[in-house]
Amino acid sequence: MSTPAGVAPRRSSRLASSAPPLGAGQPSSSPLPRRRRRRASPSGCAREVDNSPPPVVILDDNEMEQHVEAEEMKKQGEESVEANEAEEKDKDAEVLEELPDWLPDGWIMEVRCGDNGNIYRYYTSPVSGYTFSTKMETLHYLFSEMDERVLESQACADDNELHRMHTWLPDGWAIEVRAGGKKMEKMYKFYVHLPTGMRFLSKENVLLYSNEGKISRCDVKGLCDTSSEDNILAMVEFNPDGLPEGWVKEIIFRKCNDGIRKDPYYTDPVSRHVFRTLKSVINYLETGQITKHAYIPRRSVTDMYSFDRCTDLPQSMLKRLKIQGKAKKKSVGASVKGKKLSNGLASNNWEICSVEIEGAAVLDMAADVES
């Protein structure tokens, strides 16, 4: 087949185009040559970075004014929205902090916002400082007339000698009364810092420790042991457990076979009644009702502990140091109600028990009514 002059044969053209490049017959070291070429440029050849500035658009006067007006309108709109939001927040805050009509004058209401967005209100009495979280609790407190009893307690505290003697005593301190002397015929008064257990004998040493942290020696000339609880008669706290001013908590220590028993007693400064539990005290403050177990002692806590440093130990308190504990064996128990006793008294309120304690028979007579 003849080919026109000046025109190469097609086959030769095809072969020339499909001819393998130089070295194509040699095996390639990378299975993915195309993917490698798409990645970063070979080492030693830095990729060119286009650092040319962005194109500058030149606006005419009309376009410039329109652009400035649009920016100003956008800014004014954002400021207006922020101002409206702030104003709404202020209005909401005023509404939330507005005292309700049912809350008496002088009461404090605190508004808090929880993490979940809920609003919580707390109502605090200006007299007692008690805080309540609901309207029902607050109204119950108001109708109980507890504020009136708190004011009475505070007024009586001013007339109480024991309180007047210890108005200087800082919070967190208590009076510790111990038996001492050569024949255990005396009782000594110490001031104890409840959090640390530090003990001092005088007002000056207490204030020196509270104000400057200096510790002074508690010197009783060896007449009163403070190394154990064996000779403690009582601990006295003022305004304990959040009770109103004027209340006194007395913890009486008594020796028992199985250790030392500590019994709390709460004294009301108004009625002079002594309550055995904090629950009965709270019930009395809320309702004004005195429980049947409350009593008026012959000698009040004020009379017993209104001394300076040391005084004679009453015989009635000496029995606290003797072992009175629980009986190991009850051999006989008999009720003698309605019978005549040797002293001519009726036995309606008495019970006689023969009890064996550590091998010794003891006749225990216990009154049902509290003195």
| 72-103: pLDDT as tens digits | 887 777 777 776 666 665 555 555 568 888 99
Ramachandran bin of 11, using left for φ above 0, alpha for ψ from -120 to 50, beta for the remaining angles: alpha
Ramachandran bin of 359, using left for φ above 0, alpha for ψ from -120 to 50, beta for the remaining angles: left
Q: Average pLDDT for residues 285-309, to the nearest whole number?
A: 88
What pLDDT is recorded for position 243? 87
CA distance 41 to 37: 7
Q: Residue 119: name the closest of 96, 98, 88, 86 by CA.
A: 96
CA distance 59 to 39: 41
Q: Of the segments 18-32, 124-138, 157-171, 208-222, which one has the largest average pLDDT value?
A: 124-138
CA distance 317 to 315: 5
CA distance 243 to 212: 29
3-class DSSP state for residue 175?
Answer: strand
Distance of CA 289 to the CA centre of its chain: 29
Which long-range contacts (C-beta less than 8 Å, at least 24 apart) are formed by 188-194?
188/220, 188/223, 188/224, 188/309, 188/310, 189/305, 189/307, 189/308, 189/309, 189/310, 190/218, 190/226, 192/235
pTM of the predicted structure, to 2 decimals: 0.58
Per the DSSP assignment, residues forming a β-bridge with 191 are 175, 200
State the Rg of the chain over Cα: 46
Per-residue pLDDT tens for 193-224?
999 999 999 999 999 999 988 888 777 777 88
| pLDDT band, residue 334 (cuts 50/70/90) | very low
CA distance 197 to 78: 63
Q: Of the segments 50-54, 209-213, 350-354, which one has the largest average pLDDT value?
A: 209-213
